[in-house]
Amino acid sequence: MTEQDTDRQSVRASTEIVLVIGAGTMGRGIAQAVAEAGHPTLLFDADQRNLEHGLAVLETAWERAVQKGKLASSDARAARTRLQPAQGLDEAAAAAIVIEAIFEDPEIKVTLFRELDAIVPESALLASNTSSISITRLAAAVKAPGSFLGLHFFNPVPVLPLVEVVRGLRTDEATVNRALGFVRGLGKTPVVVNDSPGFVVNRVLLPMINEAVLCLAEGVAGKEAIDEVMKLGASHPLGPLALADLIGLDVCLDIMRTLHRDLGDDKYRPAPLLARMVDAGKLGRKGGEGFYRYDR
Ligand SMILES: NC(=O)c1ccc[n+]([C@@H]2O[C@H](COP(=O)([O-])OP(=O)(O)OC[C@H]3O[C@@H](n4cnc5c(N)ncnc54)[C@H](O)[C@@H]3O)[C@@H](O)[C@H]2O)c1
């Protein structure tokens, strides 16, 4: 039996409640993976409509997975039963693990963690799914920064196997080990990295996307051509502009701004076209239009 099989078995036997905060693109994907792995799962969002929408999207995802034969209907039913909406943050009092996936804004996240700190049990593991904000900075908002770390899932969560496990300056080794077991139990592959702006994936990926936007703005090539060359010439499954639409152009812009500000190097300057598109409300797939148009 592999280490991963053992972790999965122990998760199935576990009754650790996992609270996921934010029912947007990432939060609902994380909640899906966590519920499917056997954890009682609570999903909370400050916006009731977003919570209801997130739950409806999950319902459809489970129906489709069953129709396509990817999930047994009994497993889908069990996962659906395990996932419950949380009516308020006070439900964090029952959580063993909290995963935050709200807007990529340090002030909003710090405020949430301060609030959570007064509610969660002392033994709780606190994690942020931030793409680029310093884990060490977020951890400073809580009394026990040793129990705080980054769990950086990738979009779409049910499909992509990687979770960057981000060790902040004050994260305890026991917390890292607990997180490794939890992530393996979800059937994902954890890779431990140290806290630094953008960690590894976004530090490498986002400047490439930003460069593709600059190429588009400068007229080096059209959007389809830029995406085509990167698919055929670099073996990328998706071109950088289509990938930006998938991630969300607002999320891409936030990450570039963080890299620029926190690393202090102008090579991370966000492409002005990216900022203009966000100003225009063209946020990518989630809004129906980004570099491409999507049927909603
Ligand atoms: N989109 C991606 O591809 C991706 C990938 C990896 C990590 N991330 C990170 O995951 C996080 C979430 O990103 P997303 O794309 O899911 O965002 P999103 O905009 O789709 O969803 C965010 C949700 O958080 C809710 N929210 C905001 N403030 C809240 C609060 N104080 N309390 C409770 N709920 C609140 C919003 O109502 C919204 O439903 C961000 O930190 C982002 O950087 C995103």
CATH no. for residue 213? 1.10.1040.10
Residues 43 and 86 in one domain: yes
Distance 229 CA to ligand 1 centre (A): 31
Tell me which of 44, 130, 131, 154 to substitute to probe ligand 1's pocket, judged by most ligand atoms within 8 Å of the beta carbon.
131
pLDDT score, position 12:
47
pLDDT score, position 294:
96
Q: For residue 296, tell me if it sits in a domain.
A: no
Domains of the chain: total: 2
| Token pair in block for residue 296 | 């909603």
16 in Cβ contact with 97 (< 8 Å): yes
Nearest CA to 285 among 231, 235, 238?
A: 238
Residues 110 and 218 in one domain: no
Distance 23 CA to ligand 1 centre (A): 7
pLDDT score, position 196:
95
pLDDT score, position 5:
53
Is the distance from the beta carbon of residue 100 to the nearest atom of ligand 1 less than 6 Å? no
Residues 189 and 255 in one domain: no
Residues 212 and 188 in one domain: no
Is the distance from the beta carbon of residue 4 to the nearest atom of ligand 1 less than 6 Å? no
Is the distance from the beta carbon of residue 22 to the nearest atom of ligand 1 less than 6 Å? yes
Residues 29 and 46 in one domain: yes
Residues 165 and 224 in one domain: no
- pTM for the structure as a whole: 0.89
Of 174, 194, 214, which closes a domain?
A: 194
Contacts of 260 (CB under 8 A, 6+ apart): 266, 268, 269, 270
177 is known to lie in a ligand binding site: no
Domain that holds residue 83: 3-194
Of 149, 178, 194, which closes a domain?
A: 194
User: In which residue ranges of the chain is pLDDT below 70?
Assistant: 1-14, 296
Residues 169 and 44 in one domain: yes
Of 194, 216, 247, which closes a domain?
A: 194
